Amino acid sequence: MKSVVLPAYNKNILRAILSLEIQEKELPKLRDDEVLIKTHAAPVNPSDVAFIQGGYNIVKQLPAVPGFEGSGVIVEAGQHAKDLIHKKVSAFVQTKHDGSWAEYFVARKKDLIILLDQMDMNQAACFTVNPFTAWALMEIALIRESKAIIQNAAGSQLAAFIRTMAKENDIEVINIVRKAETATLLKQQGVQHVLNQAEDTFEEQLTALSQQLLATTAFDAVGGELSGQMFNALADDSELVVYGGLSNKPAIGFGLKDLIFKNKIVSGFNLMDWKRELDTSEFEQVSNELQDKIISGVYTTEIQETVGLDQIVQGLKTYLGNMSGGKILIKP
């Protein structure tokens, strides 16, 4: 099978991208609980970028094939998964196996989502991470009975899911971006409450708007000093949920008085931990509801470009240059 191969980790993202190679690899042998998926498409996610830099939680023995997410059809299966052959699936793969940036990839049975017949396979390629993360984060806001939430990285596809879900639940959203172009784009799309963190008066604007709307939940994908700014801007009795570290910097700047006297808390969110807390029937219910929303067009992942395996370098450059423009899909 043709595969994208990472020979070595490199913190310099450009050098890491340029080091990627296209190689022919043998089809892997399967364990009893594993399946072989003929890849329809695999997206580029921030976690993939962090992985090839060696900065992600998952570290593999190199050389290895990147890619944590993808969709396709099961063409072969181990002894305990034979009933799944020919099924259309979306999969999230974070094992020691090679990833999804290849003509075929391996996934464990428990890491599969069986797709409804009407599910678009391009949307399915981006299904296992963002929609479920948005759903789980929104649950936190609903439990808190939040009238408003704050989110950064607001130009991302995940942020778009959160905005749609918030609108369904009559929750206001304060959207933080780091570029004026992204702020303009969101406003042109009809998004309200867009703040640019690069502006001199950003903190004052954020605090005033948060207090006005009574924001009691914040979702942080960035880290760094922005974590503290969001936390400090929240109303009393609130929670900052950290689920990413796009800045590659430690979260800092939390007001001690807010922690001690205003009943504010900071928590972390990991999608895999959330999934493990659900039983099979609960997860299937969430999965089917999310698929129905995608099939009907209520939820959607914007896809800005599709590239072949041999176009991976240009595809990654395009993604890094315009992450707000939508996903890059890799199609063998």
Total-model pTM: 0.93
Residue 35 predicted with pLDDT over 90: yes
1-23: per-residue pLDDT in tens? 999 999 999 999 999 999 999 99
Q: pLDDT value at position 254?
A: 97
Q: Once rounded to an integer, what is the mean pLDDT over residues 280-289?
A: 95
**What pLDDT shows up at residue 317?**
96
| pLDDT at residue 97, as a whole number | 82
Amino acid at 196: N
Mean pLDDT of 87-106: 94
DSSP state of 310: G
C-alpha–C-alpha distance, residues 19 and 312, integer Å:
11
Euclidean distance between CA atoms 103 and 95, whole angstroms: 18
Query: What pLDDT, in 10s, does the model give residues 47-73?
Result: 999 999 998 888 899 999 999 999 999
- Pull the structure tokens for residue 69: 């997410």
Q: What is the DSSP string of 28-85?
A: PPPPTTEEEEEEEEEE--HHHHHHHTT-SS---PSSB---SEEEEEEEEE-GGGGGGT
What is the enclosing helix (H) or strand (E) of 302? none
Q: Return the H-helix or E-strand segment holding 190.
A: none
- What local confidence, expressed as pLDDT, does residue 69 receive? 97
pLDDT of 96 strictly over 90: no
CA distances from 332 to 31, 79, 184, 309 (A): 24, 27, 35, 6
Q: Alpha-carbon distance 299 to 162, whole Å?
A: 10
Share of the chain above pLDDT 70, in %: 100
- Residue of 59, 53, 56, 68 lying closest to 105 (CA atoms): 68
Model confidence pLDDT, tens digit, residues 168-220: 999 999 999 999 999 999 999 999 999 999 999 999 999 999 999 999 999 99
What value does the mean pLDDT take over residues 223-239?
98
pLDDT, tens digit (0-9, with 9 covering 90-100), for 142-176:
999 999 999 999 999 999 999 999 999 999 999 99
What domains, with CATH codes, occur in the chain?
2-126+301-330 (3.90.180.10), 130-272 (3.40.50.720)
> For residue 182, which of 38, 33, 12, 323 has the smallest C-alpha distance?
323
Do 287 and 16 contact (CB within 8 A), yes or no? Answer: no
C-alpha 113/C-alpha 195 separation (Å) is 36
Q: Phi and psi dihedrals of 64, rounded to 5?
A: -150, 160
